[in-house]
Amino acid sequence: MKNNLKKKAIVTGCAGFIGSHMVEHLLKLNYHVIGIDNLSTGKLKFLEKPLKDRNFKFHKIDILKTKNLEKYFKSINLVIHLSANADVRNGFDNPKKDLEQNTLVTFKILNVMRKLDIKKIVFSSTGSIYGEPDIFPTKENQHFPIQTSLYGCSKLACEGLIQAFANGYNIKAYIFRFVSIFGKRYTHGHLYDFYKKIKKNPKKLHILGNGLQKKSYLNVNDCVEAIFIALKKSKKKVNIFNLGLEDFITVNQSVNIVCNFLNVKPLRIYSGGKRGWIGDSPKIYLDTKKIRNLGWKPKKNIRQSIHETLTFFKKNEWIFKK
Amino acid sequence: MKNNLKKKAIVTGCAGFIGSHMVEHLLKLNYHVIGIDNLSTGKLKFLEKPLKDRNFKFHKIDILKTKNLEKYFKSINLVIHLSANADVRNGFDNPKKDLEQNTLVTFKILNVMRKLDIKKIVFSSTGSIYGEPDIFPTKENQHFPIQTSLYGCSKLACEGLIQAFANGYNIKAYIFRFVSIFGKRYTHGHLYDFYKKIKKNPKKLHILGNGLQKKSYLNVNDCVEAIFIALKKSKKKVNIFNLGLEDFITVNQSVNIVCNFLNVKPLRIYSGGKRGWIGDSPKIYLDTKKIRNLGWKPKKNIRQSIHETLTFFKKNEWIFKK
């Protein structure tokens, strides 16, 4: 009982898709949870359940602008840093955004950890960090990659900072390189875009690239579970894990599922090319043996996750407003 | 003749060790050269020759603080970005310095290049980017490394930014991962420290680590030459080269050379451990086949470079003042 009282975590980006699931999971595990979010993309509605829990406290703050960030980190022993600019596609329109929201925010958090002597961090990195890999499935220790997107390189910078801080200040780092995550509260990415566009015009659908890009997806609950398995079983200074399904589907197949679900047959108009946008990786397929070897086994496959997401959309069409 | 007029380069950190050699080399190649430096570690005296050349223009500016950076980059077609906080050892005492002086400055320069449509950049990265590699000699496309120093991770962030900008804005990037560089005007690093300490007290010499760390070195002239061979012969979007000698010596052997040169026999006091400081790599030994395959061949070995450096010290003891 006394031991439980000591478990105090902070979740950045707590009102986001993955963040809100993370908060619920931590509360289930009897953590005291501080949640921070600037609500730029996160939604308070996603925290409906946690906000009723007396072990959860929410603060609306912008990490980059907040001067006294330390005060939210008092007596925290686990930092779960999920807040990020996750808009991979439009990075080149505004190159400063990824640098600020990802790299500089992460530096600020690490600096607070250093000052307050907080010794454990979980970080959401990305499969985009591998650029356009040439070996599939791609392992965590694959070739030194070449970056192709500002999102990917900002996450690479975060990983580097976390690793260096881990080495210099004796912090334990848990870095997870995600494929795209699906499930309830998913609110950005191509599935979201397709659904929104079809609802607006069921006759025509613009698709970026040639539709043959191969993407992998993971269910948000499987993702959160993997993180806690790693925390429990992996004890290196720097622990890096790919998280994904060892399976992928093409963008066209995703479109088929959305169209069947909505019972429409739009004319498909492709922008062409094997990449949806500059920096898009034509194939994402991560090797997840490392986390599987710790006993993790995902419960949902890609199609199940897509269906869960579409069902969430149908029940929550308010997320498409604005 | 007309073609030559078009060659206009800017060198950041132009008054530094490598920067000043780079400026001289560019002038020899008939470039018009703009040099910028905040003179925090660079020295105007190193630019004695170029300052007499009408094709060279020097500006004392601090890139991070300068608002209208664009004006120095007008009609430039080659950016040689060498300015950096190169104090690898003390990174953990002031974690913000590497982030600002390396990562943020590089971002600022890339952003200017994007705005002014400048299409070529040379960047001085580092072998420290490999952290503590487990394969020697270490190749450019070796395993995805884990960062161990704030210096290394800041350079990793720079590389990532440069690669992403290259992909997004059609810039040609030349990234060079250096071992330590020796030669005339070398003004920081352990050889400098040893010489300075021995001059102050020839009886006792404090050495960081156990003295068995294996380091590789390259002569500054060989370094500059390698860069221009790569520029001429390698034409990918992102061109990455290790630069070093395929040879190394231990810290103890370096100390022997310095002691012989100065004809002293100090008592050696070791701080102990296989690393000189947190983040020090016990062995640096880079595979340089990639640049050698383009026809580059270094002219000086490690001992020759050390002697050249010590001779420079002897003739320029003013660099140890202040």
Give dist(CA A178, CA B16) in Å, integer: 42
Query: To the nearest whole number, what is the mean pLDDT of chain B?
Result: 93
Task: Tell me whether A103 touches chain B (CB under 8 Å).
Answer: yes
Query: Which positions ≥6 away from B183 have C-beta within 8 Å?
Result: B17, B21, B219, B220, B221, B305, B308, B309, B312
Q: Has B270 been annotated as catalytic?
A: no
Partners of A105 on chain B (C-beta within 8 Å) are none
B93-109 pLDDT tens trace: 889 999 999 999 999 99
Q: Which two tokens stand for residue A38?
A: 């600037």
Query: Taking CB atoms and an 8 Å limit, are B143 and A141 in contact across chains?
Result: yes
Binned at pLDDT 50, 70 and 90, residue A1 comes out as very low
Average pLDDT of the segment spanning A26-37: 97
Partners of B147 on chain A (C-beta within 8 Å) are 159-161, 163-164, 167
The reported pLDDT for the residue numbered B183 is: 96
Would you tell me which residues 152-191 of chain A have a C-beta closer than 8 angstroms to some C-beta of chain B?
152-154, 156-157, 159-161, 163-165, 167-169
A34-65 pLDDT tens trace: 999 999 999 999 999 999 999 999 999 999 99
Q: Are A95 and B114 in contact (CB under 8 A)?
A: yes
Query: Which positions ≥6 away from B242 have C-beta within 8 Å?
Result: B127, B138, B139, B140, B176, B177, B286, B287, B288, B290, B291
Task: Tell me whether A131 touches chain B (CB under 8 Å).
Answer: yes
Task: Tell me whether B250 touches chain A (CB under 8 Å).
Answer: no
The reported pLDDT for the residue numbered A316 is: 95
Whether the upstream peptide bond of residue B282 has omega within 30° of 0, thus cis, is: no
Q: Are B284 and B218 in contact (CB under 8 A)?
A: no
Neighbours of A56 (CB within 10 A): 21
Whether residue B5 is predicted with pLDDT greater than 70 in this model: the reply is no
Partners of A146 on chain B (C-beta within 8 Å) are 163, 238, 240
Average pLDDT of the segment spanning B160-178: 97
Interface test with A, best of B93, B144, B154, B159 (most A CBs within 10 A): B144
A48 vs chain B: nearest CA distance in angstroms? 38
Binned at pLDDT 50, 70 and 90, residue B90 comes out as confident
B243-284 pLDDT tens trace: 999 888 999 999 999 999 999 999 999 998 888 778 777 788
Binned at pLDDT 50, 70 and 90, residue A170 comes out as very high
For A153, which of B152, B160, B279 is closest by C-beta distance?
B160
The reported pLDDT for the residue numbered A322 is: 64
Query: Taking CB atoms and an 8 Å limit, are A96 and B103 in contact across chains?
Result: no
The label of the residue with tokens 């197949």 reads A253
Length of chain A: 322
The number of angstroms, rounded, from the C-alpha of B167 to the middle of its chain's C-alpha atoms is 25
Whether residue B8 is predicted with pLDDT greater than 70 in this model: the reply is yes
Whether residue B3 is predicted with pLDDT greater than 60 in this model: the reply is no
The reported pLDDT for the residue numbered B322 is: 65
Q: Sort strands A56-60 and A32-37 into parallel, antiparallel or unpaired.
A: parallel
Interface test with A, best of B146, B154, B241, B286 (most A CBs within 10 A): B146
Partners of A99 on chain B (C-beta within 8 Å) are 107, 161
Determine the residue type at A310: L
Q: Are A180 and A215 in contact (CB under 8 A)?
A: yes
Whether residue A114 is predicted with pLDDT greater than 70 in this model: the reply is yes
Partners of B160 on chain A (C-beta within 8 Å) are 147, 152-154, 156-157
Query: Taking CB atoms and an 8 Å limit, are A167 and B156 in contact across chains?
Result: no
Would you tell me which residues 12-71 of chain A have a C-beta closer than 8 angstroms to some C-beta of chain B?
none
Helix A251-262 / helix A302-315 crossing angle, nearest 10 deg = 40
Interface test with B, best of A156, A238, A242 (most B CBs within 10 A): A156
This complex has an ipTM of 0.94
Partners of A140 on chain B (C-beta within 8 Å) are 144
Query: To the nearest whole number, what is the mean pLDDT of chain A?
Result: 93
The reported pLDDT for the residue numbered A294 is: 98
Helix A150-169 / helix A105-116 crossing angle, nearest 10 deg = 10
Neighbours of A289 (CB within 10 A): 12
Determine the residue type at B267: L
Average pLDDT of the segment spanning A220-246: 97
Given the residues B31, B72, B130, B151, the one annotated as active site: B151
Q: Which of A40-49, A268-277, B6-15, B165-174 has the lowest mean pLDDT?
A: A268-277
B62 vs chain A: nearest CA distance in angstroms? 20
The reported pLDDT for the residue numbered B213 is: 87
The reported pLDDT for the residue numbered A278 is: 80
Give dist(CA B163, CA A92) in Å, integer: 13
Average pLDDT of the segment spanning A163-170: 96
Whether residue B35 is predicted with pLDDT greater than 70 in this model: the reply is yes
Partners of A143 on chain B (C-beta within 8 Å) are 141-144
Task: Tell me whether B90 touches chain A (CB under 8 Å).
Answer: no
Average pLDDT of the segment spanning A253-270: 94
The reported pLDDT for the residue numbered B1 is: 45
For B92, which of A99, A140, A168 is closest by C-beta distance?
A168
Task: Tell me whether A148 touches chain B (CB under 8 Å).
Answer: yes
Query: Taking CB atoms and an 8 Å limit, are A114 and B95 in contact across chains?
Result: yes
> Bigger pLDDT: B56 or A208?
B56
Q: Which domains does chain A have, with CATH numbers?
A: 2-181+216-243 (3.40.50.720), 185-215+248-282+301-320 (3.90.25.10)
Q: Are B122 and B227 in contact (CB under 8 A)?
A: yes
Average pLDDT of the segment spanning A217-237: 97
Give dist(CA B108, CA A67) in Å, integer: 24
State the Cα torsion B160-B164-B169-B174 to the nearest 10°: 40
Task: Tell me whether B148 touches chain A (CB under 8 Å).
Answer: yes
pTM to 2 decimal places = 0.95
DSSP labels, B233-273 = H--SSEEEEEES-S--EEHHHHHHHHHHHHT--PEEEE--S
